[in-house]
Chains A and B, each alone.
Chain A
């Protein structure tokens, strides 16, 4: 039975810089392939409604007549299914998470 096995580990990490980050002063740099916020490019969109049909959480709404594309940020799970199915490649996932959403409003473009 060994005693003080933790001492070595504790001493090793006592002289290392902290592994935690002083958020929000030092924000985390997003990784290259992270799935973050959904980004919409209005110019390319043909309002075909495929993204809204496929969205597993029904976070997207498309109005073809009014040429409006909407998203409820609190419902979006950043799964990327809409990005996969979009025929015009007008949707993409950013690597960062974007600003926190505080209201349940729908963002419309």
Chain B
């Protein structure tokens, strides 16, 4: 049968960001997907030569507009390791709290976008309504809604006092109830299941071999989570990676849904175990040497490579984002799928193209 090539993106109703795929179609079935990225390359890595390591935290936060806090945190972590700065324990716990808030807001955003991709507009609105409540909590504690601006080399900029923490915990309680309502629809509803179950199945071996990260890998049954390495204060908190074995879109959705509640639990644990004390230390001197920092973003593991030569500007800075690691798996699951499932499959990896291209 003759093949037709249908361009998908860079502008497409389901895509929040530009990725282009040439879909080779045989009848209604996709035979091959050829990706091209690079539409929004901003050269942020090169900026490291012009901004000193304190200023660059702001740039690192702007690598991504959704998981901004964890980008800033990873950069700070890398520089702190080079400078051998002892970050105060309270700051580490605050980083966990904001990191998990960022995860909840990212997953709620993804749930909304996925609902939109399979045509469930009302569910999309409800997911984002719940997310708005969390954004208010984030703004109340850090001052920003998506760009937190709370992390700095040597600690954090803001503290959450007891009263504020009480507000956060009460807010989370309401939020948890509302999240349960929408998660019930995502996991139980027949129309949602018809669009997600057995679509884009990725076996455990395939996911592992293709180098998947994050919920994509955990949904295929591999219990891999960078937070288990214990960076920030994760080593002092109790949690286990959320995994599923089906490896389809439904499993990936279920993993993210369960991670919402896992994050709420982690915030509660961190709030209960957070010690009193300083939130930052004075940082002096310039970094020298190289370091690779690994942290868990909502989309999976992010790798930051920094190389410093003893001056205030770093010599080299490189980011491997989770979306980039999940792209090979996307191309794999697109092979043989129905054309109508392409939007759901593209969204299932939770693509964040502006991180990927920086």
Residues of B near any A CB (own CB < 8 A): 51, 54-55, 58-59, 120, 122-123, 126, 129, 132, 136, 139-144, 147, 149, 157-158, 181-182, 184-185, 188-190, 193
**Closest Cβ–Cβ distance, residue A17 to chain B (whole Å):** 13
What residues on B are CB-neighbors of A32 within 8 Å?
140
**Closest Cβ–Cβ distance, residue A25 to chain B (whole Å):** 19
Do A1 and B190 contact each other (CB < 8 Å), given the known contacts A6-B122, A79-B149, A84-B157?
yes
Query: Across the interface, do B157 and A80 meet the contact criterion of CB distance under 8 Å?
Result: yes
Q: Is the interface of B mostly helix, strand, loop or mixed?
A: helix
A34 part of interface (Cβ distance < 8 Å): yes
Q: What are 12 pairs between A and B in contact, CB < 8 Å? A: A1-B188, A3-B190, A5-B188, A6-B120, A12-B181, A19-B129, A31-B139, A31-B140, A33-B143, A54-B55, A81-B55, A81-B58
What residues on A are CB-neighbors of B122 within 8 Å?
6, 10
**CA of A35 to CA of B140, assembled, Å:** 10
A77 part of interface (Cβ distance < 8 Å): yes
What residues on B are CB-neighbors of A33 within 8 Å?
139-143, 158
Contact of B132 among A19, A81, A84 (CB under 8 A): A19
What residues on B are CB-neighbors of A9 within 8 Å?
126, 181-182, 185
Tell me the count of chain A residues lying within 8 A, CB to CB, of chain B: 25
**CA of A56 to CA of B61, assembled, Å:** 13
**Closest Cβ–Cβ distance, residue A95 to chain B (whole Å):** 9
A5-34 vs B, Cβ < 8 Å mask (1 yes, 0 no)? 110111011000001000000000001111
Do A2 and B188 contact each other (CB < 8 Å), given the known contacts A33-B143, A80-B149, A84-B157?
yes
What residues on B are CB-neighbors of A35 within 8 Å?
143-144, 149
Interface centre among A5, A10, A19, A79 (most CB of B within 10 A): A5
Which residue in chain B gives the minimum CB-CB distance to A2?
B188
Which residue in chain B gives the minimum CB-CB distance to A12?
B181
Do A56 and B143 contact each other (CB < 8 Å), given the known contacts A1-B190, A9-B185?
no
**CA of A80 to CA of B144, assembled, Å:** 11
What residues on B are CB-neighbors of A81 within 8 Å?
55, 58
A72-109 vs B, Cβ < 8 Å mask (1 yes, 0 no)? 00000111110010000000010000000000000000
What residues on B are CB-neighbors of A31 within 8 Å?
136, 139-140
What residues on B are CB-neighbors of A78 within 8 Å?
144
Interface centre among A56, A78, A84, A93 (most CB of B within 10 A): A56
**CA of A93 to CA of B157, assembled, Å:** 14
Query: Across the interface, do A1 and B157 meet the contact criterion of CB distance under 8 Å?
Result: no
**CA of A13 to CA of B54, assembled, Å:** 46
Do A79 and B58 contact each other (CB < 8 Å), given the known contacts A3-B190, A5-B185, A5-B189?
yes
Could you list 5 further interchain pairs (A-B, Cβ under 8 angstroms) beyond the known A1-B190, A33-B139, A81-B55?
A: A31-B136, A33-B142, A34-B144, A35-B144, A79-B58
